[in-house]
Amino acid sequence: MNVLSLLLGVMCAAGGGELFVRGTVGLAKTLRISPGVVAATVAAFATSSPELTVSITAALHGTPRIALGDALGSNVVNVALILGSALLIGVLHAPRATIKRDFPTALVVPVATAVLFIDGELSQMDGLLLLAIFVVWLVTVIREARRERSAIEEVLGAYPPGRALVEGTIGLGLLIAAGRLIVAGASGIASAYSVSDFVIGATVVAVGTSVPELATTIISRLRGHDEVGLGTILGSNIFNGLFIVGLASSITPIRASFAEVAPALILGLAAIALSYPPRSGIIDRHRGLMLLAVYAVYFTAVLQGLSE
């Protein structure tokens, strides 16, 4: 039953994430916002909705370690596994704004979390600090969007505003259901096999809730909209690491040993560093293999921690 709940949650996350992205991007077209900005905000936040619902549900039910494991694990999955897989299809071209704004912020996320976690706890004050950093980044993005207002180029197809609103609403409902199903299934598995909540969150839940990012990134890569794929991944990581972890810890302080969270933080930082584009903005295919190797190391490290 726990496995069925988990599978249903993943299915809701995938379907709901795609509908929500289609709806929100369709509405954003009428606002004439550039694709990169939409990807880093609207699409990224939409595809991170499973992580958000999982984290809020987990925090309210007194299991915030699932929220932490899911958010940090999803960040490794997003860059190492999803971006690595997309690079196997072909090279990616990163826009200058993404290189200057989003990549540095994505690097700050694991560093800030590691510093705050040195004492083995993310307190409510730590959570508020992470939320403050997120607000600063978001304000910067909004200001740039106002300066660079332009017609958005659709990625997932053109939709009338009414249809976009309906699909976005249905997608959000599916994502909320996905969060509840995934938390229920993951918690049940953890209890049945005496597995750490953090480990379940960092592996099974992290991959499951990253399904929307995977679909969005692969579709955008195949259609040649690299700025959308990169923006979605980096925006999602920033949202996960700053907003979701910050919100979860501000609801319920999160306690875990630094050794437990170190693999996700260190390898998440390594993945961002490996994918950081040169001045040309071109991310080569060979980095895809390196990123997949990083994910393999991460997964092995988590399993080794489980066996100890």
Q: CA 34 to CA 57: how far, in whole Å?
A: 33
**Around 276, how many Cα atoms within 13 Å sit in the side-chain half-sphere?**
13
**Which residues form the domain of 230?**
2-307
Instruction: Pick the closest to residue 215 from 17, 6, 8, 70 (CA basis).
Output: 17
Strands (E) across 102-176 are located at 121-122
Q: CA-to-CA distance for 44 and 237, rounded, in angstroms?
A: 8
pLDDT of residue 306: 54
Measured from the Cβ of residue 165, the count of other Cβ atoms closer than 10 Å reads 15
Element (H, E) at 74: helix 64-76
For residue 121, the cross-strand partners are 255
- Of residues 190 and 103, which shows the higher confidence score? 103
**pLDDT category, 68, cuts 50, 70, 90?**
confident
pTM of the full predicted structure? Answer: 0.78
Query: How big is the chain by its Cα radius of gyration, in Å?
Result: 18
Q: How many of the other CB atoms lie within 10 Å of CB of 104? A: 12
Tell me the C-alpha distance between 160 and 173, whole Å: 20
Tokens 């992290």 label which residue?
206
d(Cα 14, Cα 184) in Å, to the nearest integer? 17
CATH of the domain at 274: 1.20.1420.30
- Structurally, the chain folds into a number of domains equal to 1
- The string of pLDDT tens digits covering residues 267-294 is 999 999 999 999 889 999 999 999 999 9
Give yes or no for residue 184 having a pLDDT over 70: yes
Give me 215's structure tokens.
């679909």
> Cβ distance 69 to 205 under 8 Å?
yes
* Per-residue pLDDT at 105 exceeds 90: yes
166-178: pLDDT as tens digits: 887 897 788 778 7
Phi, psi of 91 (to 5 degrees): -65, 155
Q: Taking residues 182-188, what's their average pLDDT? A: 75
Which candidate, 78, 21, 61, places its Cα nearest to that of 45? Answer: 21
